[in-house]
Structure 1
Amino acid sequence: MMTTAVKEVSGRPAEPPEEPTFEELAKRVDDAVAAVADLDPSARAVAEEMKHAIEAIHRAGLITIVRRLRADDATRSALFELVDDPVVHLLLSLHEIVRPDPTTHANRVLQSVRPQLQGHGGDVTLVRVEDGTAYVRLQGACNGCSMSSVTLRNLVETALVEGVPSITAVHVLANEPEPTLIPTDSLFPARRRVEEGWAKAGPVTDVPDGGIATFELRTGSGRDVSVIVVKLDQRLTAYVNECAHEALPLDNAVVDMDNGTLTCPWHGFCYDATSGECLTAPAAQLEQLPLRTDNGQIWIRVGP
C-alpha cells in the first residue's frame, strides 16, 4: 500500500536503481584481488577456493545460456551478436566457452613448436592472420636454404594448418630490419638523436625479460609522454602508455611469455606484445614508438 501511495503522489513509477558501470565493476574486482593477496596463506587459500567455486558456477550457467541460444533458430543470431561484443567475448573466452581468435590460437600453436625451432638456431614470428592465411617471418636457421631449414619451415606450416581450424595456408614473408630493437652504437651520436626527436629512456637492464618498465619522457617541444617498454625473449618494444580501449595506463599490464601477449590490468583487453595488435578487439591497436639502443641505453623517438 505504501509503495502504491508513493507512486500515485509522484505521478510516475519509481525508477530502478542505476546499474554500476563496467569500469566500476572492474575496480571492485581489482580491489578484491589486491585484498586477497594481502591475506595470510590459510585465509588466501580459502578465498581462492571460493573464487574457483564461483567461477565454476558462472561457467556452468554461461554454458547453459549459450547452448539454449544456439539451439533455437530464433535466438542464434542474437547469440552471434553478443559474442561479437568485446566484453561478452572476453567473458566467454575467460571461461573457455568460445574459441580464441585465430591470432591468439596461432600464437599458442607456434609456442608449442618454438623449442624445436630454437634448438636448430631458428625462430618464428606470426605477423597476421588474414582470410585463412597465416603470414609469418622466420629467423635464424629457419630462413636459410638448407634441407634442415626446409624441414623447420614445414614444421611451422604443418603446426598452423593442423592446429588452427581457421588457417588453411601459411605464407612466409621476407625478413625486414627489426623495427623495435636496432643497435646503432656506431651510427649516430646521442646529440643528433635528441635533435631528431629521440629521448633517452634508461638502461636496457631496467626492463626485465617478460616484464614492463615505464618511462616518463619529454619531447623536444616540452610535451611529456608516458611510455612503456616490453621485453619478450630479449626483444624490446615501446608503446605509448595508453590502452586502446579507454586510454588507461598499462603500467601493471600482465605479460604472458608463453603466448606473447600483453593484457590490460583494467578491463582485460589483450594485445600482441610485439606488435601492439589488439586480440580482443581487432580494430584497436597500441601506438608503437621507434626504439633503439646505444651503449646499453634505451632511446625512444617521442617526436619533436
Structure 2
Amino acid sequence: MSLEDLLTRLEQLLVEMQELDEPVRTRVFELMDGFDLIHRTALSALGEALDRQTLERLRAADPATAWMFDAYRVGVDEQAEADAALESIRPYIQSHGGKVDVLDVRGGVVRLRLSGACSGCTASAVTLQDGIDEALRENLPGFVATEVEEDNAEPHPPPAPGPVILELPQYRG
C-alpha cells in the first residue's frame, strides 16, 4: 500500500470514528491522542538532537519520514517562523516608536520583548491583543499564546497625535 493510499484510508477511518457511540469514540480518540503525544515527543527530541543536514537526508530518503517530519514540524525553526509572522505588524509598531523581538518559541508559546515607545505604554496590551497575537495566529502554525517581556520602562500613555510644524519660506512682497 502506498503512503497516499494509507493516508486516504486513515482519513476514511477517522470519518467512520465519528459515527461511533460517544463513550467508545471518546476512548478511541484518547488512544489516538496518546499515540500522537508519543510521536510528537519522540520526533521533537529527534529533531533537536540531529543537525539540519541529517534531518534533510532522512526526509529525502523516505516519503513516510518526510510526511511525519512535516506533520510534527520536525526541524522547523519556530523562532524564525514567528519572526517572519510578525512582519505584517512591525510597521504599525514602528510607527509608534516601538520594536518587537522574538526571544523564544516553545510549545506554541511565543516569548517576546517590546522595547522603545511600546515598552511601558498603556496601549501595548491592546497592540498585543489586536495586532501581534492576530499576526501570530494567522501566520504561525501551532501558535498558542504570547508572553511579553518589557524593557523596564516606566508606564506611560500612548503617544498622542501632536501638531505638525511646517516651516514655510518667508514671503517677501
Query: Relative contact order (alpha carbons < 8 A, sep ≥ 6): 1 or 2 greater?
Result: 2
Please state which structure has a larger fraction of its residues in strand: 1
